[in-house]
Amino acid sequence: MELCSIASGSSGNCIMVGANNCHLMIDAGISGKRIEQGLNALGHKTSEMQGVLVTHEHIDHISGLGVIARRYGLPIYATKGTKEAILNTKTVGKIDESLFHVIRPDEKFTIGELEIEPVHISHDAADPVAYIVREGDKSAGVITDLGTYDEYIIEKMRGIQILLLEANHDVNMLQLGPYPYPLKQRILGDRGHLSNELSGQLLGKVLHDNFQSVVLGHLSKENNLAELAYETVRLEVTMGDNPYKGNDFPIQVANRDSVSELIAV
């Protein structure tokens, strides 16, 4: 099982995950050209992907979806609410509705040798989900765009071995930054985004002895810094009520504009 961020940030998101001969994209929030270049750097091609899992309809997750759909005809997996919202987003262009496969939170499905579990998340979108992907006893999770977490999320994440986890903003940077007050409140709210602190606290609750690596993703360009996200998450794990320390496993921060390091288990 392997996972790599082709791009991750408030300006665009696209993740590759897969195993052996079955690889998927999670979101297509950057241009088709950048997606192709990113996959090529990993030894893959867009045309070889066996599907696109869409988390939700915000443009930083679907801006390249129309191009990918029209050029390659890849299957698109999304909840009913997300599908309808995408079809009503004019900027992505026309997408053949027959490409969509409607999924439901908590109902697992398979693509090739991969088992995918959509997980309901709290975010201000039509019907957003995160994804956990398994192949045999190996697992990867992409958990971003959630304003809060609860026991449901924690339970779903138990046992994940490699993880891309949102660390969107530093609370102080956001509060003192240039965003208008309503937008700040949206980001800080329960349907917004995880702060560095909350990201570290959530990570601390799902760590286990077989955990391999975490990639911090979806960082805000205006309200976060890679070094700050890394240090804050590491400190929260070390100071949290768990038997682990922030140095016990690799932590990397996903690049906003380039392919990040591939992680595998």
* pLDDT for the residue numbered 264: 95
DSSP 138-182: EEEEEE-S-S---HHHHHHHTT-SEEEEE--B-HHHHHHSSS-HH
* pLDDT for the residue numbered 203: 98
* pLDDT for the residue numbered 210: 97
* pLDDT for the residue numbered 170: 98
- So what's the architecture of 2-258 in CATH? 4-Layer Sandwich (3.60)
Are residues 203 and 164 in contact, defined by beta-carbon separation less than 8 angstroms? Answer: no
Specify the pairing of strand 22-26 against strand 52-53: parallel
Domain extents for the chain?
Answer: 2-258
52-53 β-sheet, strand order: 100-103, 76-79, 52-53, 22-26, 14-19, 2-7, 263-264
Helix (H) or strand (E) holding 65: helix 65-72
Per run of 10 residues, the mean pLDDT along the chain (length 265 residues) is 96 96 97 97 97 98 97 98 97 97 98 98 97 97 97 98 98 96 96 98 97 98 97 98 96 95 95
